[in-house]
Chain A
Amino acid sequence: MSSNKLLKEKLKIINLGIESFHQTALAHGAKSLHVDWKPPLVFDKKLQELLEKNRSKIEAANLKALAIVNRGRPMLIGLAQAGEVIPGMKKNLILHAGPPIEWARMCGPMRGAIIGALLYEGLAHNEEDAASLAASSQVEYSPCHEHQTVGPMAGVVSFSMPVFILENSEYKNRAYCTMNEGLGKVLRYGAYSLEVITKLRWMEKTLYPILKEAISFAGPVDLKNIIAQALHMGDELHNRNRAGTSLFYRSIAPHILKTKAERQAQIDVLNFINGNDHFFLNLSMPASKVSLDAARGIENSSMLTAMARNGTDFGIQLSAMNGRWFVGPAEVPDALFFPGFSKADANPDIGDSAITETAGLGGFAIAASPAIVQFVGGVAQDAINYTMQMYEISVGENSVYQIPYLNFRGTPTGIDLIKVVEKNILPFIDTGVAHKKAGIGQVGAGVLSAPAMPFKLAYEEFVKGLLSH
């Protein structure tokens, strides 16, 4: 005798596929939930079978990786010049955002930023010399990510630039990032005019020593704590860093006054930080980086340790396949543009800042940031939806970073490549948009989903790799 209760109970349907079936059932009084399903990014029966056999192993590895990210403790411990601290840094090396790329394929803003860096370093004295030097074999290029570093937009770091030093106090690994220059004509958007170089020099000669001294008075600054509070105050720490900047300012200001610098220099430094809502971006990024780096190289883990763009390509890295990049073409974000600009002016997605999403911030935490919902359609519910979607592709939740609106649920943290491919939900990134010509700067801000190709490639390699052990 059948013990099936289907005919005895009220019909409650989960509908997968044709939506009109759901509408009909609803109209006839049944309960019905429609699944907004999409076909997987990769569908290959052999790979799927291989994956099924290893699924529990992969899940265990991912939980281990997530636990490491959650235990991470990013602390700002000081500042130094890039050449003094960044591993492998040398005078003719330029670090850039995103996966590896040669000069010939670099986009406008990245070329502009490199020209600016060569001028700043005194390696060239005018634009033409800088450009021909940049194209020659005398200058070497390497991704920031391969030097424990991250950089927003072009992400260019050269030998003399001052950088923040972050340490993950739990695992003792470090990460580095330059200081944020503010808006307008800035190097990270590819500007290299005299005023840009002058500002960089001021940052090196005034901002850097004062901040360095202030931090030595303050002791290590707990960035995890600031990020957690900033989320409660409406930042998502990628496109909005206003609360983070304020909290940092509040913790550092008294110590700036203790420095031996002149009063006017102190005032200038305080005004500089106070006047730049994105100052904290260059701390939320390396904080994300230093937390994720500790989870690199875990066998069988399909968790992402980096997503980064160089304005031409979009690249991802996986914990299990440490050091390898999987790349595909970067796409142009769907953005709100500043007056006078349009999508035609926009450069494809650029910058290491997607490290924030990789760590469960930015687009993943956008439900915490109602102030910027204009970028995602203007309705608060849309922001909630984006974050809810990101839970679908995350290994788990953050143990410290929370979203008040979701009853303080932890942010979706640790992007699982397998889930991305199987559910065909791509990581959601909210980001600034650069003009495609060097030096014009930011033209808007908006959102985009990561391109599918790097995920497809990584999935195939990762699953095939399961065969070998």
Chain B
Amino acid sequence: MSVTKGIVKKGDYFDSISLMIISKKIREMEGVIDSAVVMGSAENLLILKAAGLYIEDFANVSDSDLLLVLLGRDEEIASKRLNEAEELLLQSKKKRGTLSSEKNGSFAVTSLESAYKIMPSANLVVISTAGKFAYSQAFSALTVGQNVMLFSDNITIEEELKLKLLAQKRQLLVMGPDCGTAIIGGVPLAFANSVRLGKIGVVGASGTGMQEVTSLIHNMGGGISHALGTGGRDIKEKIGGISFLQAFEMLEQDENTKVILLVAKPPHQTVLEEIGKKVASCKYPVVAVFLGATKEIVEKHHMIYGKTLEEGALLACRLVDPRAQLECNNDVTSIKNVTSGDKYIRALYSGGTFCYETQLILQEAGISSLYSNTPASGIATLANSNISQGNCIVDLGEDEFTKGRPHPMIDFSLRNRRILEEIARPDTALIILDLVIGHGANLDPQREFIPTVVKAKKLAPHIPIICFVTGTDSDPQNRQELIKMLKESGVVVVFTNAQAAHLATKIIRGI
């Protein structure tokens, strides 16, 4: 008989990623069926209730309490594992304590207020706390004259506007909210890749899109001066591209930037006009990847049209070095004709921008029966995000999948399960997978992702799996080894998302 056991650690706080790491370790313990380590917020309690991980002790907890709960195979195992889990928490805390006191030789800084005192010359505050706290923290940072990178989401668009108006007034930059990626002077911030310094400056309203273009530029031998994120809503009418335009100006004035690359979904008309005006007077060439925008519109606003992320990266690189070439894989002879009967593409993405770009590519190629949980215009909404139908392009990083669990770039388990489900279905023609590496992403795909792909290929060798690795050889995960392991397992490795989508189109058409 399985047993749920848990404890409340009053006033104990861990950041979300530390909790995920601990959570994962607990789930890997023998005899643990399910578990959660979360702060006691109202939302988290709902999640625990839904997951059957709620116990009575949680009735009076608050945001600042840490909850640890697990479902064990039996009473004895549950108690034992709970003790071990508690020990994991303690260790993690100890590590934290020594880091702050030994490394800095000083005490832990516990508030923004004292951080300003200790580092008065700071020029960027990176905020990744829960959204409800993040707004006032960002506001306070702007008030004291700091630029802000706001990784946090769950900030209303009204709050976003307030922050950005204040920033504009004070000549400060707000990257975000929901800004997952930035690189400043070679320093990767949040979810970003190690890329070499160079002449291409990037402004992006799309996190994965920026990871893709900056990595591709690096892989082609180019380099990045800075990549500034704005958050996806910045280019909507309501915000008016405040951060996007500011970031553009900053790159234009930056002495290292010689080419500017813009990455976003199509900005609102009024924002596009403003961008166009800036580009018209800009002394550097500007390439724009506004996924889904027409060539005419982009060119009308004086920008060089990049249809896809890979094309944008290539065009930007060639402006610096005309010899630049994308890596590609022409050896796809192993792929057999798989189109007999009603069979479909199944794309399982961890990167939202990839999911969007693939929809556009397949749509343009005239592939019918397209479904997604985050549909682009003209594409049908999946009835149930957990069950594929037709040619199905799923963003597993969407909120519906990440409530109470880590993002699929960190924790592969949800997608791994889905891969094996798709492989077992009779209507699966092929599978597309992204593997995003770099800082912030899972550090051991070799052990946590590859084995699933190997298993899938063993179960159904005839179903092609197309995969590309977003990242660089300087990232901590060892890109070359991953590519080699993927190839050895029978996966078709391509080098960009667009290549994957185009290849899938060919296969499904039996070309």
Contacts and interface: CB of A to CB of B under 8 A. Distances in A.
B114 A392 contact: yes
B187 A39 contact: no
Contact of A18 (B17, B100, B172, B250): B17
A306 B494 CA distance: 68
A3 B187 CA distance: 22
Nearest to B186: A28
Nearest to A9: B123
A232 interface: no
B437 interface: no
Contacts of A425: 110
Interface stretch (B130-138, B296-304, B325-333): B130-138
Contact of A4 (B63, B130, B246): B246
Interface stretch (B144-152, B425-433, B452-460): B144-152
Contacts of B108: 36, 385, 389
Interface in B109-152: 109-116, 118-119, 121-130, 132-134, 136-137, 141, 146-147, 151-152
Contacts of B186: 28-29
Interface in A1-42: 1-22, 24-25, 28-31, 33-41
Given A14-B122, A16-B137, A33-B115, A389 B107 contact: yes
A71 interface: no
Interface stretch (B8-16, B266-274, B369-377): B8-16
B107 A17 contact: no
Instruction: For chain B, give the interface size range.
Output: 35 or more
Given A7-B254, A39-B64, A39-B130, A25 B187 contact: yes
A34 B128 CA distance: 12
B12 to A, nearest CB: 9
Given A31-B119, A43-B132, A423-B111, A13 B64 contact: no
A17 B137 CA distance: 11
Interface stretch (B69-77, B188-196, B308-316, B502-510): B188-196
A4 B128 contact: no
A48 interface: yes
A21 B119 contact: no
Contacts of A381: 101, 107
A130 to B, nearest CB: 37
Contacts of A16: 112, 115, 125-129, 137
Contacts of A28: 186-188, 194
Contacts of B147: 4, 6
A10 B123 CA distance: 9
Contacts of B125: 13-16
A368 interface: no
B171 interface: yes
Interface of A: 1-22, 24-25, 28-31, 33-41, 43, 48, 381-382, 384-385, 388-389, 392, 423-426, 449, 452, 456
28 contacts: A2-B250, A3-B171, A5-B123, A11-B123, A11-B184, A12-B122, A12-B124, A13-B124, A13-B189, A14-B112, A15-B125, A16-B126, A16-B137, A17-B16, A17-B129, A17-B151, A18-B17, A21-B126, A21-B190, A21-B440, A22-B126, A29-B187, A35-B110, A36-B108, A37-B112, A40-B133, A41-B64, A452-B11
Given A7-B253, A33-B109, 13 more contacts: A2-B253, A14-B116, A15-B126, A16-B112, A17-B127, A18-B128, A21-B190, A21-B440, A37-B112, A37-B129, A39-B64, A385-B108, A452-B64
